[in-house]
Amino acid sequence: MAMRSIILGVAASALIAAAAVSQTNPTGQTSPSTQPGAAPTQPSSTPRPGATTTRPLPKLPPRPRLGQVDWTQVVSDRRQRPGERLLAAFKTKLDQGAVDRTRIPILIPEDGPLMERARFYSFGDFYSLNLDVPNGSVELTGTKIFTPAPKNFINRLKPEGPENLTVVRTIDGVQASFTRYGLLYTVEIRCDEPKDGRCREEGPLRKILEKVRGVVLGREARRAAGLEGQS
């Protein structure tokens, strides 16, 4: 019994010591290091007044869910859209392997100069299409993976029209989100210079949005749409 108490006592001391180490050495270092020429920035071991070290447990994020693609609408739009030849030309700008791996409709702007140096990155259910504009870039994304948001997380946005278009200003640009075919798509313009007017007003982005009408389907998407064998 006495031995057990000693063992428990030693273990408790070790735990306390370990806790003390993690408290007094939060930089993860075993000894203080110095940076020659550096400003006096060494973190102190003592929390400042008001700092607390007890916190609530984080929650796991909500389980993502899959959106359902409205393939009927996709097929209908592709039939009604003029300029299929133009679309085919754009398609050759994209990495065909990446296009074929993409399981969702790929939206592209019907704008030759904008598509000139298109780079396409596919993650299957998500894609990113990166385009150049002078002193900036435009990124289009599409996804069928949604994360349920907490209450009042995004509903302060003011959605417009049947596609629930929302526009937000980011640090380096302007981002638009909208739903089409049951999926979420975004178009974002980013500028090299934060003061660039194209990235501080919605107009330039909305002009690009008006051109985002082309729909490209890769092999996986055509299969899902029941269009195997068609281009």
Partner 1 sequence: MSRLRLLLAGSAALSLLAACGEGAKNDAAAPADEPVAATDAPPVATAGADETVHDGGAEQLPEDPIPATEGPPETPAPAAEKASFPHGGVGDLLPGSGSGYADRTDWSPQMCWPMEEVGFPNSQVYNAGGSKGPSGKGQCDKTNYDFPWRDNFCESRGASNPACGSATGHQGQDIRPKTCEKNKHWAVAAEDGVVTDIGSYTVTLTASTPPYRIYRYLHMNMPALPVKEGQAVKKGQRLGQVSNYFGSTPTTIHLHFEMRVAAAEQTSDGKSLAARAFVPPYSSLVKAYERKLAGGTC
Contacts with partner 1 in 51-80 (CB under 8 A)?
Answer: 51-62, 64-65
Contacts with partner 1 in 207-226 (CB under 8 A)?
Answer: none
CA 190 – CA 199 distance, rounded (Å): 6
* Beta carbons within 10 angstroms of residue 140's beta carbon: 23
Is residue 168 close enough to count as binding partner 1 by CB under 8 A?
A: yes
Location of structure tokens 């100069």 = 113
68 vs 72, beta carbon nearer partner 1: 68
Is residue 31 close enough to count as binding partner 1 by CB under 8 A?
A: no
CA 116 – CA 134 distance, rounded (Å): 12
Of 3-11, 34-42, 81-89, 218-226, the window that binds partner 1 (rule: CB under 8 A) is: 34-42
81 vs 93, beta carbon nearer partner 1: 93
Task: Report helix, strand or coil for 184.
Answer: strand
User: Residues 3, 82, 195, 229: which binds partner 1 (CB under 8 A)?
Assistant: 195
DSSP state at residue 220:
H
User: Residues 73, 123, 133, 223: which binds partner 1 (CB under 8 A)?
Assistant: 123
195: number of CA atoms within 13 Å, CB side? 0
